[in-house]
Structure 1
């Protein structure tokens, strides 16, 4: 996906998140994020949006420390002002990324063609995944993410987050996970050992310990741990389903 496509996705997904939150009580639980309520979700995503805006718009070469982040985000709003606060931060991020020069230099933490490409992609998926959380809290499914965005989000997760040294997806014995999208050019093979997983992008037909096959939008939510395996009827799994349990336990992406 191009930078402009990621920014468009960020715009649409943030708007949908706000719409879902607007029709839900702030104290409603978020089923896909245990221990969170809708208010917690809005504060988290609103915080991240402001944090990312500060880094990209100021061209910061290092991550913000705690004091810098607090200054960039500002005071947390009251419940009455929370939704407007979220919308304001979201709009500011979309505007900042849209106006940033293509060659802006700033800190980033996953491989990307450029810092701007990283931040546009990362915030698009941060917002899309949490938009699903807002829909889950509202109890009404929202529009499915576009296939292109879903494919891109799977790639960011398995090829970016899972291969970092701090990733916790490990296995005492080598195990393989194959992910195949049925509606786009997406096939990823992960070899999981005691070291960071090795990911290859191919359409290999060699058997894996577990193969997940299905529409990109279903695989996207499944791999981002937003759908219970038993609720993803469109995804076929062949092989050792214990590997899916390992994924759910070890492949979570945490803020800290």
Structure 2
């Protein structure tokens, strides 16, 4: 059920993009950095109260120490990108996990460093971005790391609970959840060739019950296209729930999405829509 699937010594499988176009978000850089800090605090709270050998149900191949090592590595990698790759490369997850260092301390310090890198970067900073509809690099990295860390805080909560958390337990604000759904469906999903193996094209409507927004995903064997304008015709399938339920479920961290229409679509989603490190 993991979202980021990482082979420990590798870098992320991302296409480098150095320009930007429209991005659908109403959140500011400060909003995203606040979300990042909140999620780091939740991760640290779990780390302080659970053994690092605790399994992570939402990432079956990881224990809590591997999860924290991953977040430490990703934060360092992001800060490195924001600063233009100055200094030594970020240590790999394997190197961090196998060290005898206090990873909770590294997580706290690394998050502070990432926030500082984003806050002090010039508005016109040139840095890698890798999603469609990406904002300028400074805003891109604030948004991306807010959601990276929020999802992994849900992973940490799953370790503490011994099961997948509910949206209520994850305490994700609706506005942040809406923003994260949008980043996933408009940024990640349309990249490259479709991984959906379907005989006939069909559509999925993603409809939060607590927000005045929706997305329609047009799925074919060749591509995934996203539309945010109202549709007169009913789509082949509808995913509904609160924004937080949809956010967690679409990232494979929750089981509260309600499906109607085309049978088996949600199960197919969980099988094919995974953001991977390779």
The verdict on a shared fold, with TM-score over 0.5 as the criterion, is: yes
CA RMSD of aligned residues (A): 2.3
| 1:121 pairs with 2:143 | yes
- Give the alignment partner of residue 150 of structure 1, picking from 177, 191, 196: 177
Alignment partner, residue 76 of structure 1: 96
1:76 counterpart SS class = helix
Residue 74 of structure 1 deviates from its aligned partner by 11
CA contact (8 A) 2:77 2:89 kept: no
What is the TM-score normalised by the length of structure 1? 0.88
Shift in CA distance, 101/169, structure 1 to aligned 2, threshold 3 Å: farther
Q: How many corresponding residue pairs? A: 245
Quick one: distance in 2 between partners of 1:139 and 1:205? 42
Gaps of 5+ in 1: none
Residue 35 of structure 1 deviates from its aligned partner by 1.2
Quick one: distance in 2 between partners of 1:93 and 1:252? 25
Residue 237 of structure 1 deviates from its aligned partner by 1.8
| 1:58 pairs with 2:84 | yes
Q: What is the CA deviation profile of residues 93-112 of structure 1, one whole-angstrom value per residue up to 9, with x for unaligned ones? A: 11211221211111110132
Aligned pairs (5 A) from 1:131-150: 131-139=153-161, 142-150=169-177
2:119 counterpart SS class = helix
Residue 170 of structure 1 deviates from its aligned partner by 4.4
Q: What is the CA deviation profile of residues 21-49 of structure 1, one whole-angstrom value per residue up to 9, with x for unaligned ones? A: 22111111100011110011001111000
Quick one: distance in 2 between partners of 1:80 and 1:202? 50
Alignment partner, residue 121 of structure 2: 100
| 1:221 pairs with 2:212 | no
What is the TM-score normalised by the length of structure 2? 0.81
Residue 166 of structure 1 deviates from its aligned partner by 5.3
Q: What is the CA deviation profile of residues 69-103 of structure 1, one whole-angstrom value per residue up to 9, with x for unaligned ones? A: 449x9952635511111111111111211221211
Quick one: distance in 2 between partners of 1:174 and 1:20? 43
Which structure would you say has the larger RCO, counting Cα contacts within 8 Å and 6 or more residues apart? 2
Gaps of 5+ in 2: 1-26
